[in-house]
Amino acid sequence: MALFGALFLALLAGAHAEIPGCKIRITSQALELVKQEGLRFLEQELETVTIPNLGGREGHFYYNISEKVYEFLSTLIISGMRFLLNQQICPVLYHAGMVLLNSFLATVPVRSSVDNLVGIDYSLLKDPVVSTSSLDMDFRGAFFPLAQGNWSLPNRAVEPQLQEEERMVYVAFSEFFFDSAMESYFQAGALQLSLVGDKVPKDLDMLLRASFFGSIVLLTPAMIDSPLKLELRVMAPPRCTIKPSGTTISVTASVTIAVVPPNKPEVQLSSIIMDARLSAKMALREKALRVHLDLRKFRIYSNQSALESLALIPLQAPLKTMLQLGVMPLINERTRRGVQIPLPEGMDFLREVVTNHAGFLTIGADLHFVKGLREMIEKRPEKNRPADPVASQAASAPPPSTAAA
């Protein structure tokens, strides 16, 4: 009965376990790189430690021995040297190791803002899984509107999987990662665009006036020369679909066309529904995930009548061109800034490879230090910077032992 109860609780806990939107695998190659950088840092720390020469007299025996040959001393002197090493060098090694670990962890973003509208949550969902060849970490990987800090989107996407080990690091993103970003921007009211007057491309302005000439004349001839207004508003959060063949973003938006006479209320000419499909290409640059979008499929139709939908056919090509030339560069300017992924400061990616799977994608890359560990520590804010190794020995070192480190 107890066994059944334990099994039931385990299944219940698994059923409520949160699915990660982002996973990171650090392979043994990357750990070796970090180890080498850590050893260089330790060497720099030890260069600052000085041990005075030993001199004295034992009966008729006079000695004056430097640090380099202390292993040849008598048992009494070796014991003294061990005490000296334990008091000076071991605390430095301990301190340097803690600095190495804390410096890495302190620079990993957990919950931070992406811009003035949206933030991202990289909370670690469970303890890292360590094997002989890798270190795997599961992160929430969820965006949220800054104005609604407690807002969250349920994650029902496929859990990303990491199988590869050839590169130093692998990052996996599920569809949920991108869906939560687009949902957050939708909730923040960012997925809309309004073009008025000379902001409307000239060729499109001429085509719209020709297409709606009859409607304008029927309203009032005085409005023929009034500025036009083109408003695009995403009607529902866009959705991401990741397949082995590629990544696409599906968007449905309303396009409202109106005339804006001076000092008078605007007059709506038409309301159009627009379905668009964008292709997305991912890349890692300077520890940031960047996305480039291209408009692939596009169609417009009227939600009022089939006859009006037929009348809109001549507008489809110029509207698509307007989106490609006027709107997509604005979107890509924002996505080009990228979003930081949870890796320590001072590291960058090389030779990244993107692989699409069903429901998630992985990016493998090699790492290199863009600055040394000492430089990383020295550039940290003063309040977060570790104390001087020698000055902080008494406070931060482990209890002295009876043997040298």
Q: Name which of 109, 130, 135 is nearest 24 in CA terms.
A: 135
Cα→Cα distances 170→18, 162, 272, 350, 394, Å: 21, 7, 43, 12, 40
**Model-wide pTM > 0.85:** no
Q: Are residue 102 and residue 115 in the same domain, yes or no?
A: no
Q: Are residue 155 and residue 92 in the same domain, yes or no?
A: no
Q: Name which of 325, 194, 297 is nearest 255 in CA terms.
A: 194
At residue 377, the pLDDT reads: 58
Q: Are residue 98 and residue 139 in the same domain, yes or no?
A: no
Distance CA 403, CA 222 (A): 97
Q: Are residue 225 and residue 281 in the same domain, yes or no?
A: yes
At residue 182, the pLDDT reads: 94
Judge whether residue 34 has pLDDT over 60. yes
What H or E segment, with its residue span, contains residue 215? helix 213-219
Cα→Cα distances 108→87, 114, 144, 335, 340, Å: 33, 14, 19, 21, 10
Is 387 contained in some domain?
yes
Q: How many domains does the chain have?
A: 2
CA angle 333-339-343, nearest 5°? 150
Q: Are residue 225 and residue 342 in the same domain, yes or no?
A: yes
Q: Are residue 171 and residue 314 in the same domain, yes or no?
A: yes
Q: Are residue 81 and residue 184 in the same domain, yes or no?
A: no
Higher pLDDT, 223 or 67: 223
Q: Are residue 122 and residue 99 in the same domain, yes or no?
A: no
Q: Could you give phi then psi for residue 88, rounded to 5 degrees?
A: -110, -50
Judge whether residue 55 has pLDDT over 60. yes
Parent domain of 252: 111-365
Judge whether residue 106 has pLDDT over 80. no
Q: Are residue 85 and residue 118 in the same domain, yes or no?
A: no
Pairing of strands 134-139, 129-130: antiparallel
Task: Name the residue with tokens 């493998």.
Answer: 364
Share of the chain above pLDDT 70, in %: 67
Contact 171, 22 (CB under 8 A): yes
